[in-house]
Amino acid sequence: MAFKERTKSMHLRIYEILASRMRLDKEDFYYYLNLKKGYEGECRFDGLTEKLGAKCIVLNDLQLEIRRSSLQIDALLICEGKIVLYEIKNYGGVHHWGLEEFTKQSGTTLENPSLQLTKTKVRLRKLLKSMGYSMEIEAFIIYVNPEFSIWGAPCEGDSILPGQISEHFRELQNMKPVTNPELEKLAQALVECHDPEYPSKLVKYEYEKMNKGINCPKCELLVQNFCRRSHVCESCGKKMMIQKAISNSISDFQILFPDEKLTTKRLADWCGTEDTNRVYKVLKREYQAAGSESGRYYIPLNKQPMPTRYVD
C-alpha cells in the first residue's frame, strides 16, 4: 500500500459532473478528456508500484510549492539512498521526437515532457534542501500506454518506454528494503506539504444552464421522471437503483455548489423529478435536518448547521 494513496482530484471530479450535465466547448471538452486519460494512466502505473512492497515508500499525486512556484508530482518513490521521481504519460499512437516538441502523425504537437520534468526535479531538490534533506534524485518520464511509440528519441535519456517498464521495475525489486526511519519522516513531511486545494482553472457554470436528472453509473446518461425502485439505462443497459442514484446526484450537487443549502425542493429539481418524497427519504436517511419546518435544509452528518435560514 502506498504511503500516500492516489485519489481522483476534485478538479477532474468537477469536470466529470459538468460533462454529463452541460455542453462543454471544444477546448474544455478536450481538456477534460486529457485529465481523464491522465488519471487512467496514473492508476495503471499504481498497479506497478503496489508490487514493490517494502522496497520503497510510495507517494502519489503530490501538489507542492517552493518559493511560490508550483511543484506537481505524479509519483515519487523514497528509496534507501535516493528518490525516484516519475512524470506519468498515457499518450497513445505514433509520435516523432523533438527537443522541444513531440509531433503526432496528425500534425498535432505536444510539449516534450522532459522540459517539465527538468523543472520539477530542480524544484524538488530546492524543496528538500529547505527541509534539511539532501538526496540523489532520479527522474523519469514513464509512458504507460502499450500503444505508444516514438521515432527519433535518443537512446539514453529520461524516458521509460512501454517495452522498458518491466525491466525498470525488476531493477527496483533488487533494491534493499527501506529501514531508515528518517525516510518515513521525510515522507510524512512531504505529505504535510501537499495542498489538495491548490488553485486550478475551471470552466464557468451556472445551475440554470445545466441539465437535470440522475446519472447512469456506467455511461453517465441522465434519467428524468423515474417512477420505480430501479431503472434500466436506455443507452448502455445498466440497471441502476434509484435511491443510490439520487444519493450520488446529491453528492455531485454538493461538489458543484458547496455554498448552497440542501433543500428537498432544490434537489428534486436537480434530480429531474417532481416526486420530492423520494429525494426527502434519501436526505432523511443520509443527512441531518436543520432549520425550522418552513425553512428546513439538510447538512452532512456530524456537521454543525449554518446560522442563516433558507426557505424551501
Q: What is the pLDDT of residues 133-143, one digit of tens each?
A: 999 999 999 99
The verdict on 160 and 255 lying in the same domain is: no
228 located within any domain: yes
On the question of pLDDT at 307 being above 50, the answer is: no
β-pair partners for 64: 71
On the question of pLDDT at 294 being above 90, the answer is: no
199 located within any domain: no
The verdict on 89 and 175 lying in the same domain is: yes
To the nearest whole percent, how much of the chain has pLDDT over 90?
Answer: 77
Q: What is the mean pLDDT of residues 253-277?
A: 94
- In eight-state DSSP terms, residue 196 is T
The verdict on 100 and 15 lying in the same domain is: yes
**CB half-sphere exposure, 7, CA atoms < 13 A:** 8
Domain of 146: which CATH number?
A: 3.40.1350.10
The verdict on 230 and 86 lying in the same domain is: no
293 located within any domain: yes
The verdict on 141 and 285 lying in the same domain is: no
Residue where a domain stops, chosen among 126, 160, 193: 193
Q: What is the mean pLDDT of residues 67-94?
A: 94
Q: What is the mean pLDDT of residues 221-244?
A: 86
204 located within any domain: no
Residue where a domain stops, chosen among 167, 193, 219: 193
Q: How confident is the model at residue 199 (pLDDT cuts 50, 70, 90)?
A: low
Residue where a domain stops, chosen among 162, 193, 224: 193
255 located within any domain: yes
Q: Which residue has the higher pLDDT, 218 or 302?
A: 218
On the question of pLDDT at 283 being above 50, the answer is: yes
Among 68-72, 209-213, 289-293, the minimum mean pLDDT is found in: 289-293
Total count of domains within the chain: 2
pLDDT tens track for 15-53: 999 999 999 999 999 999 999 999 999 999 999 999 999
Question: pLDDT at position 98, please?
Answer: 94
Polymer length in residues for the chain: 312
The verdict on 187 and 251 lying in the same domain is: no
311 located within any domain: no
The verdict on 95 and 184 lying in the same domain is: yes
The verdict on 177 and 285 lying in the same domain is: no
On the question of pLDDT at 308 being above 60, the answer is: no
pLDDT tens track for 144-176: 999 999 999 888 789 999 999 999 999 999 999
Q: Which residue has the higher pLDDT, 220 or 170?
A: 170
The verdict on 235 and 166 lying in the same domain is: no
The verdict on 43 and 127 lying in the same domain is: yes
Domain of 285: which CATH number?
A: 1.10.10
Residues 6+ apart with CB under 8 A from 276: 264, 265, 268
Q: Distance between alpha carbon 126 and the CA centroid of its chain, in Å?
A: 26
Count of other CB atoms within 10 angstroms of residue 225: 10
Question: pLDDT at position 310, please?
Answer: 34
251 located within any domain: yes
On the question of pLDDT at 300 being above 70, the answer is: yes
The verdict on 41 and 175 lying in the same domain is: yes
Count of other CB atoms within 10 angstroms of residue 148: 18
305 located within any domain: no
On the question of pLDDT at 129 being above 80, the answer is: yes
Q: What are phi and psi of 40, to 5 degrees?
A: -60, -40
On the question of pLDDT at 204 being above 50, the answer is: yes
The residue assigned the cell 534533506 is 133
**C-alpha cell at position 9:** 482530484
The residue assigned the cell 433543500 is 263
| Alpha-carbon gap, residue 253 to 177, rounded angstroms | 45
Answer positive or negative: Cα dihedral of 238, 241, 246, 251: negative
Residue 68, domain extent: 10-193
Count of other CB atoms within 10 angstroms of residue 218: 13
The verdict on 30 and 164 lying in the same domain is: yes
Q: Which residue has the higher pLDDT, 57 or 216?
A: 57
